Structure 1
Amino acid sequence: MILKCFEAYRAALFAKSLLVPAFFYNRMAIVTLLWLMLTVPLALLKLAFPATSIHNLGDALPILVAYSIIIAAPICGYLIAHEAFGKQASSTQLDFHLSFLGKWKRIDEQSARKNILFGPVGFIASLLIGMLLNVVIRAGEFFLAVPAMSAHAPEWGMTLFITMTADVAITGFFYMVAFVMALRTVPLFPRMLLFAWCVDVFMQLIIAQQLSLVGNIPAGVVTPLVDLLQGNMTKVMISIVVWMPYLLLSHRVNITYRHRLPQN
């Protein structure tokens, strides 16, 4: 009885996951609009209450540029990847794979697409949603935690503002590229996601290194900053630990992105 209930629940979840890629294929304009509705008011609110004084447009320029980049980066990542990975590019299979675990046999694209496991559904659909949420959460944390620094900010403040802006913009861009590649079943998707993770970790180290060089950071800023950087690192590491085995061993991932089946 319990097993039947579990199977029914799993089947219901899988049926719902089938709706995810279809929604993203046809409703990204809505997703983009929701993104703008969330980030633009937050940016305007931060601009209205800057941490350092603003006397003219020139003083506000660092804030305007930073917030514009953060808002535009994921959109640019999506649009560039959407144009770069058309149907022809998406079907091009790689000759070399980084996943050496298990024994696999190659199949052609047509056979892979006919397989019942082909497609960005199931857990891959959850990963799609997770990548989008990661972009949103990171941007939200930035707007809530990082003070808006005008041209009158001290050196440590401007360094903090610039490096944190670069972190959110760059990681948001690459996570959206990975999102499109997963959605359009581009074979390079697992490598792209690994690259995005590595960039994310690298950016946290860069921020810590740059701020340590500047010095003179107020004590009240150090503790929350360290917590934020450690939190970002922890989230990336958790994502790697949770998703890497799936990306390496999942039959669905191997059929969809590597066009290969397990050898019997």
Structure 2
Amino acid sequence: MVRMVKDHLYRKSVALVLSMQVNLQRILMIWVLVAAFACGLRLAFPATPYAETPWVSGAGLLPYLLVVALPVATLMLGLKLFPMGQVHAQPTFRLAKVGRWQKVDCLRAREMSQFGLYGVMASLLLGIILNVPVRTLEFLSSVPALGSFAPSWFVSLYSILLADVVILSSLYMFAFAMALRLVPLFPRFLVMVWGIDLLAQLGIAHMVSSIDEVPRAVDMALLDLLSGNVKKVLISAALWMPYLLLSERVNVTFRHRVSA
């Protein structure tokens, strides 16, 4: 019974990964349409009125173009930098030294049943790519569009949060591209992104505390948002770090080594 359940879940993971690989362009198109619609709704309800039509205003439209397009562009760049089927060199210096492992050559690793993005690894892939719409929707639901007469404190706050969602979403998409292309540096790059994400939330809290005239209600709402982001990063790292270090599949696929 347990074996049947494991086989069923494994087949589901294979179908999920293959679906993401085959339908990636369609997924991106759906994302662009949904995100553009959500951004349009946000533009329609700015914090202050527009002096001109927001669609022709750089301050109105440009930030949301970045929110929608830059993560997609980063993913496409990653896929172009790491072509499908290319064998990538292993890093000369190992950071993951937990456990006892035996090196295997890349051809033998690719023939092993543990090689690939299936099983639990598929859940990690799904979590990485879902991080982008979640962050984007949080930004759109929490931060109104500027309008043309926003106070200076809100312009500063908006700029900081915009940079956070655009940069972090792009980094997660690049990590997703590295995983799809089986780039050996993927595990350490993902850990680096978690670290950047955590430092970004702490840095935003510090920067906002130095901005004058921020209303207390806004300050408290932002604190809740940043605290939630920190918790999500810490939970993700706590759940997936042991897997990235000790999983036979991760080690065979990305490090070309098996347990000794």
The answer, yes or no, to whether TM exceeds 0.5 is: yes
SS of structure 2 residue aligned to 1:257: helix
Q: How much does 1:7 deviate?
A: 2.3
| 1:78-227 to 2 correspondences below 5 Å | 78-87=75-84, 90-227=87-224
Are positions 1:51 and 2:47 aligned together?
yes
Q: How much does 1:71 deviate?
A: 0.5
Q: How much does 1:114 deviate?
A: 0.4
SS of structure 2 residue aligned to 1:261: strand
Q: How much does 1:151 deviate?
A: 3.9
Are positions 1:40 and 2:29 aligned together?
no
The answer to whether the 8 Å contact 1:81/1:181 transfers is yes
> 1:220, 1:213 → 2: CA distance?
16
Partner of 2:259: 262
Q: How much does 1:239 deviate?
A: 0.2
The answer to whether the 8 Å contact 1:77/1:173 transfers is yes
1:13 to 9, 13, 25: 9
> 1:71, 1:173 → 2: CA distance?
10
Which of structure 1's runs of 4+ aligned residues deviate more than 6 A? none
Instruction: Indicate how the Cα distance of structure 1 residues 202 and 57 shifts in structure 2: closer, same or farther if over 3 A, else same.
Output: farther
Partner of 1:27: 23
> 1:204, 1:57 → 2: CA distance?
33
> 2:87, 2:146 → 1: CA distance?
42
Cα deviation code 1:49-74 (max 9, x no counterpart): 10012111589422311111110121
Query: How high is the TM-score relative to the length of structure 1?
Result: 0.94
Q: How much does 1:24 deviate?
A: 1.9
Cα deviation code 1:120-168 (max 9, x no counterpart): 1111111111111111100011111111113421121011111111111
The answer to whether the 8 Å contact 1:61/1:151 transfers is no
> 1:217, 1:195 → 2: CA distance?
31
Tell me the amino acid that sits aligned with residue 79 of structure 1.
M
> 2:27, 2:235 → 1: CA distance?
26
Are positions 1:228 and 2:232 aligned together?
no
Tell me the amino acid that sits aligned with residue 105 of structure 1.
Q
Tell me the amino acid that sits aligned with residue 226 of structure 2.
L
The answer to whether the 8 Å contact 2:14/2:119 transfers is yes
Identity %: 38
Q: How much does 1:31 deviate?
A: 0.7
Deviates more, 1:164-173 or 1:143-152: 143-152
SS of structure 1 residue aligned to 2:62: helix
Are positions 1:65 and 2:62 aligned together?
yes
The answer to whether the 8 Å contact 1:90/1:184 transfers is no
Tell me the amino acid that sits aligned with residue 159 of structure 2.
I
Q: How much does 1:201 deviate?
A: 1.1
> 1:53, 1:158 → 2: CA distance?
14
Q: How many equivalent residue pairs?
A: 259
Query: How high is the TM-score relative to the length of structure 2?
Result: 0.95
Tell me the amino acid that sits aligned with residue 237 of structure 2.
I
User: What CA RMSD, in Å, does the superposition of the two structures yield over aligned residues?
Assistant: 1.5
The answer to whether the 8 Å contact 1:21/1:121 transfers is yes
> 1:244, 1:151 → 2: CA distance?
45
Q: How much does 1:89 deviate?
A: 5.2
